[in-house]
Amino acid sequence: DTRLAEKRLLEMLKAIDHRAHIEILSLHGRMTSDEQRDIFEPCHPQCLRKVIFATNVAETSLTIPGVRYVVDCGLANVKKYDAKRQISLLKRCAISKSEAKQRAGRAGRVQQGVCYRLYSKKVYAEMEDVAQPEISWMSIDYTVLCLLSVGVCDLCGFDLIQRPGNDCIARSHAMLVSIETIAVDEETGCLELTARGREIIRLPVQPMLAHMLLESLELDLLPEMAAVCACIHIGSLFMRHLDDEGRCQMDQVLMSFYDE
């Protein structure tokens, strides 16, 4: 989204024949520290303004000097767990009041500033006070295995700081039973890790992916499954360029993977 915003602003400035030089930059979580360096540098001498299109990574973790104006759209792309498909997806959601306050605080960190909110007071009043904790909407499969590995058998009764719903725990329990990582001890009646569960918890991926890797080892398909799990784990392998030539080259590469 930040790259698309960059492109659209450039097109708008060209359309109105804007004569002032404006430095346009992006800031998002997938950038390296080297790529972020330009964000913190003073505005180029030939430029009158610096415009930074940022994701919610700029809310709390970074302080950018010289920012006087913040434009808050009131939305954020948040990773949510789809229990039906058992995958995490990025969804565009409304932010909370606390997040709106954090965004406003980015303006005027070292001098006076202004925040323009692109939503009404009514929309703001309907926002949640704080963002939902990650444990309430992410997969807790690995967390369940970790708790069992340290002797916590009563998952529903364990006193977590932020507790997921019983339905979330039940879904995780059913999935972990289906891949034979947990079972009920016949003597104590408590949940415990199986031998497969102890193997899976040592792998730094989600239990379902770890199960796939162990199964592929028995079928002599480990290299192929490792590649599949890596692709699932890191997300998109492709980054679109802003210019038409770059998009054309990327589309040609993608076409080479298609079956005839």
Checking DSSP bridges between strand 191-193 and strand 182-184, what pairing results, if any?
antiparallel
pLDDT truncated to tens, each residue of the chain (260 aa)?
787 888 888 888 888 887 778 888 888 887 888 888 888 888 877 778 889 999 888 887 677 888 889 999 999 988 877 777 767 777 889 999 999 999 998 887 777 889 999 999 999 999 999 988 888 778 889 999 999 999 888 877 788 888 887 888 888 889 999 999 999 887 787 889 999 999 999 998 889 999 999 999 999 999 999 998 888 776 566 655 456 666 677 777 777 776 65
- The burial of 142, by beta-carbon neighbours within 10 Å (0-12 exposed, 13-18 middle, 19 or more buried), is given as buried
Question: How far, in Å, CA of 105 to CA of 70, rounded?
Answer: 9
SS3 state of residue 156: coil
CATH number of 136-234: 1.10.10
| Region 2-73+98-124: CATH code | 3.40.50.300
Domain locations in the chain as residue ranges: 2-73+98-124, 136-234
CA dist., res. 93 & res. 74, Å (int)? 9
155: nearest Cα among 170, 174, 138: 170
With H, G, I as helix, E, B as strand and everything else as coil, classify residue 131: coil
